[in-house]
Structure 1
């Protein structure tokens, strides 16, 4: 049965989220990469994946100012379709690159805890670099077809679609279902399998170092948080929203489509947060980085007081 409900217009509430993510993400990733460089020899081979995780975030964060302009102008894209496609490509590379490198970190943690003797000598920097290159290639190959879909409307609205226009929505739904399976579902199953086994080993073994056990459990919690908050809602509601668009195009429209649309917009906000939340991985990569972060937080109030005192003294002198 067809319903007369009209789908709502595109929301603008992404603007403040983009600004917040840009500021927090740039500061946190910049600090994280700097700390990673200073502790490179102490972190082990997993640092290669953490470094690449930071690179995917920086790549996406550099495109956010253009999205801020887009949403501040009422969702009107002024930079041309080619750059619209590049911006969306960077977002997809960040999204699936983050998922890929978080999966690699999960596998390395699994091998280090569950199969330490078997992994000894086999997990090298060279192999980590090779795996990282493969992840970049796979993510790029998966994301490249997205650029061949129409991304910018050619009418006066000037939209920059994160999916595509209604004329190609059926083909895009088929593409994104396969993309979801290979780029998200399979890595999610691998991550859940690795950490499910890790939990069993950590809870049943008393010989594992207590600090390592706590750090592994915290890292596991962060990864589960990232997948649950940022990635799962986005993929579920992206595909569901595309499906409702296909049905609407066929003349089938129900009231619950509006709920799907709203959930889709919320999931877009949540997935943007991954660039601000990924730096949490830095804090649990090694104790030295976490100690540096604690010192930075402790020194911050003193630095603020010193700066304030200096300003006051200058005012008194002048």
Structure 2
């Protein structure tokens, strides 16, 4: 079939932007999650019920971080995937498990924090470690079921220069847009509304009731700030621009090219870089249990600035060959 190509879309931006971001997230993410998990296990008895969710959050992060070296090779080689179709699907599946698993466990943490502050007497002694483990298993199952259809879409394209799509090829983009919208509603919007509801009620309680412990107030406000940071920086832009870019591809397939195609494409690539930052930012959740890790993370970030500068200058030498890409590389 003939596929319309909208000229003026800067496909080379992906290879210039994502590799240094992935390298930065890989380094900071592994170290931060390592420090966070060590701190978590060291202070396990203090908040072991919520710590089950935090532990699963760390596992989801590490699962995704281990796939980043393969994606860095992919973009360094001008979007040429050399690891096969099956591993391409596994890599994308790990990303989805991390993304929606993180959202799921952050939702669980928020609900537990809500119950502990707003309904402390009702839940005292009723929330056990077994409940947390059971809920964690359910979250993994739900996320897997929601992400599984993505595995059945075509993920690779080309014979000599094989691409590994984040979504799917242009042939199936209409169906994928419908799936993506439903996925966004169930796996992102609903958890977001639950979190907003929980912390909206928590905010009212914290402002109106003076008997709330100050330490509990500080931890709740800190966790609220972290969640606002994660959703505003990582999750919301990604879901907005992912679906806009899919819609743009549908219009392009229909022969309709618009001036904003390039802007949507660039914004989507930036949002892809931002959403993977959740693997480096999620360890901030450990902060409400251990203050000492903040100092360690601050030192780590200072060293990461120099690493990012070096990575950006190194990857600037890798430029895609003009005219080699004829489809949206997602």
**Shared fold (TM-score, shorter chain, > 0.5):** yes
Matched, 1:221 2:222: no
Shift in Å, 1:113: 0.5
User: Is 1:238 aligned with 2:239?
Assistant: no
Matched residue, 1:8? 10
Q: In 2, Cα distance between the equivalents of 1:260 and 1:71?
A: 20
- Per the alignment, residue 257 of structure 1 pairs with 261
How far has the Cα of 1:74 moved from its partner?
1.2
Mapped to 1, the partners of 2:60 and 2:83 lie a distance apart of 22
**Which structure would you say has the larger RCO, counting Cα contacts within 8 Å and 6 or more residues apart?**
2
SS at match of 1:45: helix
Q: CA deviation at 1:7?
A: 3.1
CA distance in 2, matches of 1:277, 1:105: 16
1:91-134 deviation digits (Å, cap 9, x = unpaired):
00000000000000000010000110111112110000000000
Aligned position for 1:48: 52
Match of 2:287 in 1: 283
2:243 match: secondary structure: helix
In the aligned structure 2, how far is the partner of 1:31 from the partner of 1:226? 19
User: Is this contact kept in 1: 2:287–2:293, CA < 8 A?
Assistant: no
Q: Structure 1 residue aligned with 2:189, among 182, 185, 195?
A: 185
- 1:62 aligned residue (57, 60, 66): 66
Cα distance in 2 between the residues matched to 1:271 and 1:291: 26
Distance 2:5 2:283 in 1: 45
Report deviation, 1:258.
1.2
Name 1:164's counterpart in structure 2: 168
Structure 1: gaps of 5 or more residues: 299-318
Q: Distance in 1 between matches of 2:285 and 2:6?
A: 47
Count how many residue pairs are aligned between Structure 1 and Structure 2: 294
Which structure 1 residue ranges, 4+ long, deviate > 2 Å from structure 2?
2-8, 154-157, 291-298
Q: Residue 234 and residue 252 in structure 1: after superposition, are their counterparts in 2 closer, same or farther (change >3 A)?
A: same
In 2: Cα distance, 1:172 partner to 1:155 partner: 23
Secondary structure of 1:208 counterpart: coil
Q: Distance in 1 between matches of 2:211 and 2:192?
A: 29
Matched, 1:88 2:92: yes
- C-alpha distance in structure 1 between counterparts of 2:33 and 2:144, whole Å: 22
C-alpha separation in 2, matches of 1:76 and 1:235: 25
